[in-house]
Chain A
Amino acid sequence: AQKITQTQPGMFVQEKEAVTLDCTYDTSDPSYGLFWYKQPSSGEMIFLIYQGSYDQQNATEGRYSLNFQKARKSANLVISASQLGDSAMYFCAMREGPNSGYALNFGKGTSLLVTP
């Protein structure tokens, strides 16, 4: 079963606008972590933001914020004031506990295109 679901294969946003990338997850582990990564065409994985399952506040990192709704098992990424350089693939990932070896499980990704 898919543990991380990203339902938006592609998204468009105009420069300077905000955009929300959706992510839902499935786990029975009470302790888990949620990550968002950006992957430009070069292939490198750029860490954006992290949310722990016990964190009370939504994570924020500059223009990135994570809308964490634990009961709904969603961890949407919000990018404010989009820039042309934000065009890339975005992956949501989850880290579960020791039984999974702490590996990151990735969603299928969302391709974001920022237009002028």
Chain B
Amino acid sequence: GAVVSQHPSWVICKSGTSVKIECRSLDFQATTMFWYRQFPKQSLMLMATSNEGSKATYEQGVEKDKFLINHASLTLSTLTVTSAHPEDSSFYICSARDREHLGYTFGSGTRLTVV
């Protein structure tokens, strides 16, 4: 079946540094990538939607200059958390959708801790 590889699975970084999270679709073309954030014991909140080759569409309240999303190819999308702060500590998970199957394939998630 379809697989999205998400890396890293966990990361600890110092406040003020940047962290890049990658999601790769291994056996299909991810025409759309969704990025979610999940705080402990809460739901998945959509941060942004990106289509290959286009600028990402951010949800209200999500700072586009802080959460940089790149979807330059049909198999790779990245989320960079810039100048991370402790309040950015969260579980980040991507979800890819391909035009052919119209289903959603989730990455395994990245647990970010900013100290």
A residues in contact (CB < 8 Å) with B: 35, 42-45, 47, 91, 95, 101-109
Q: Report the bound CA distance from A104 to B43 in whole Å.
A: 12
Q: Report the bound CA distance from A33 to B42 in whole Å.
A: 22
B44, B45, B49, B111: residue with the most chain A Cβ atoms closer than 10 Å: B44
Interface size range of chain B in the complex: 20 to 34
Nearest chain A residue, comparing its CB with the CB of B34? A103
Q: B92 → chain A, closest Cβ, in Å?
A: 10
B43 and A106 contacting across the interface, CB-CB below 8 Å = yes
Of B12-20, B79-87, B101-109, the one contacting chain A is: B101-109
A104 and B34 contacting across the interface, CB-CB below 8 Å = yes
Known pairs A91-B43, A91-B44; A104 contacts B93 (CB<8 A): no
Query: Contacting B108 at CB < 8 Å: which of A43, A47, A101, A104?
Result: A43
Known pairs A43-B108, A44-B108; A103 contacts B46 (CB<8 A): yes
Nearest chain B residue, comparing its CB with the CB of A109? B43
Q: Report the bound CA distance from A42 to B95 in whole Å.
A: 16
